[in-house]
Structure 1
């Protein structure tokens, strides 16, 4: 008995060290799960993250039988199950033996591959204090239930994981706050220095144009004034991108303000109630900013339409103009109009950007993000 307790303490220490060393969520959970399974009688496991809208996501798994791993873990990712239902209802107060698992039963019934003797599993909530993040599930072949000592060990590991998850989330939150502060500082510096200098050059060029007597000199000053005014508009747009002025009043008002700053008239159409996570809202704002920049620079028009449709799981934003359009060619990259930047931002948020355009028939950009 003492030997078993000692081995458990050593295992918990090793897992704690691994959790403290890792700074990325998925590698941390994957490594901790692997070490836990290696040091115990449990043989397979998987971790669900469950968000505030009660949607679950398979974040890590280890040594799954082929029936559960089949089709990118299709059986684990679809449908409902008792463990998630109990989690949502607040019934998982400690590590528990799940009598039936709908996901495992579906995998067995599908007969697509070997289920490896896995018919039941134990489950425990991952949490830190009162804040919950998801579930840790573990199983052993031909085992219906686990004894109290095994469940107590599972609970201890889940507590360690929950604390580590909280640490990483707080660290990322601090990093994001630091990034916002740096953006704000840079925006202030650009506004107070470069922006003011460009404005001064514009006034000087205007004065030079009015005072010059020779037509060639007058034309040169006017060209300087025009170019400086363009640079000033670009600088203001850059400052807006660094510090989204107006976004605090909502996505629609922020984009209307940005379009107005660019000299564009933006008509908006909204379907559904816009209550989006701040990160999703900012991603949409950044992508739509790039789209509005494209309208000003390339479309040859001063009007655009914005459509936003919100569903329970996705938000669709469409930006449309009736401008000159461009010829679509899948073999040619279009970095000059920011398509790559928009795709990268959407991909980072697990979304997509598509566009439809024809010469002299305008452009339509479609942005879809989950939330």
Structure 2
């Protein structure tokens, strides 16, 4: 067996061991790319994930020349190119030499020393069976074409990566299913135990209030009834958050259902067709829940306007009330009313949350999520 073949087997073995041991997707991709470059003639590489809409995302890179790495890899992140277009159309089936790359050509407008002699690259799709995830690209200074044996190694590495990515996604799905099951179990327990107990306290307080003629005792029972009724409303809202009813009919119906649980009257207006990825829908729903909780707890009103606008790239949400409002400065994050929670949820999917509020003139929450 030739030394090149032995070297390739060693590289594939090391990458396979890394893929089996690593539990973090980002570290796995960076580590596999590093080992590939370390043991071959390839000197730089990058990995794109490409979603169902054809949008690409740079998820890993190693040893990029300065021209490609500048401005947070802007020349890789932005624009189109042959390999991404071919992946989208299904034309890219195997490892291929790219004669001209628009991204490298654009970066080549800078001095050649910043490109480190990189003028061409090879590309290979990352897939597992019929599922396709993205691209692995590699390059070597002053190299226009790679030999068949080098492309064959690239395909073997891509096969390993595709299988590992698939395993990660399956594991994530299993974790999400387990989370839903745990939420359902907790919701059942709360409903069967705490919820029923609070309901019993409410009835007992009402009975005690009707049985006594002592005004002080009557007021005490009335306060107990009021507090237990408030706690019961909070508990029902919590149970609904854990196991939302109506969400299967669409996020708008789910939001309306949650508003009803809180006793809010919502004026909902929607523009555009809502067909969101699961993670974006989850984030939007939880952000809206928090915004409605704020209206219920802090605004001092029981109605709100909700505007939902869907464009080709973004979903925009506005929740507006005419309640108390609040004062806020740059150092006050108001965690008590969930602003930071909404910001964190939006940030997790690349979105933003802003707000406008004035004392006694209400609050307007503005949410933008890309998808």
TM-score interval, normalised by the smaller of the two chains: over 0.9
Equivalent residue number for residue 314 of structure 2 = 314
Post-superposition CA distance 1:118-173 (Å, at most 9, x none): 00000000000110000000000000000000000000000000000000000011
Residues paired across the two proteins, number: 371
Following TM superposition, the consecutive aligned residue runs of length 4 or more in structure 1 with deviations greater than 4 angstroms are 110-113
Equivalent residue number for residue 177 of structure 1 = 177
CA distance in 2, matches of 1:330, 1:255: 30
Structure 1: 5+ residue runs without aligned partners?
none
CA distance in 2, matches of 1:212, 1:111: 91
Deviation at residue 177 of structure 1 after TM alignment: 0.6
Q: Is 1:143 equivalent to 2:143 in the alignment?
A: yes
SS at match of 2:114: coil
Equivalent residue number for residue 103 of structure 1 = 103
Provide the TM-score with structure 2 as the length reference. 0.98
Equivalent residue number for residue 349 of structure 1 = 349
Equivalent residue number for residue 248 of structure 1 = 248
RMSD: 1.0
Deviation at residue 333 of structure 1 after TM alignment: 2.5
Post-superposition CA distance 1:285-335 (Å, at most 9, x none): 111111101101111111101111111111111100011100121112311
CA distance in 2, matches of 1:110, 1:82: 21
Provide the TM-score with structure 1 as the length reference. 0.98
Deviation at residue 89 of structure 1 after TM alignment: 1.4
Q: Is 1:287 equivalent to 2:292 in the alignment?
A: no
Q: Is the 8 A contact 1:183 1:243 kept in 2?
A: yes
CA distance in 2, matches of 1:323, 1:112: 61
Q: Is 1:86 equivalent to 2:95 in the alignment?
A: no
Deviation at residue 103 of structure 1 after TM alignment: 0.3
Deviation at residue 3 of structure 1 after TM alignment: 1.4
CA distance in 1, matches of 2:42, 2:139: 6
Post-superposition CA distance 1:316-367 (Å, at most 9, x none): 1110001110012111231111111111111112211111100011000011
CA distance in 1, matches of 2:333, 2:233: 26
Equivalent residue number for residue 27 of structure 1 = 27
SS at match of 1:134: strand
CA distance in 2, matches of 1:367, 1:80: 29
Q: Is the 8 A contact 1:70 1:113 kept in 2?
A: no
Deviation at residue 284 of structure 1 after TM alignment: 0.7
Residues 288/113 of structure 1: CA separation in 2 closer, same or farther (3 Å cut)? farther
SS at match of 1:97: strand
CA distance in 2, matches of 1:344, 1:72: 23
Residues 110/310 of structure 1: CA separation in 2 closer, same or farther (3 Å cut)? farther
Equivalent residue number for residue 52 of structure 1 = 52
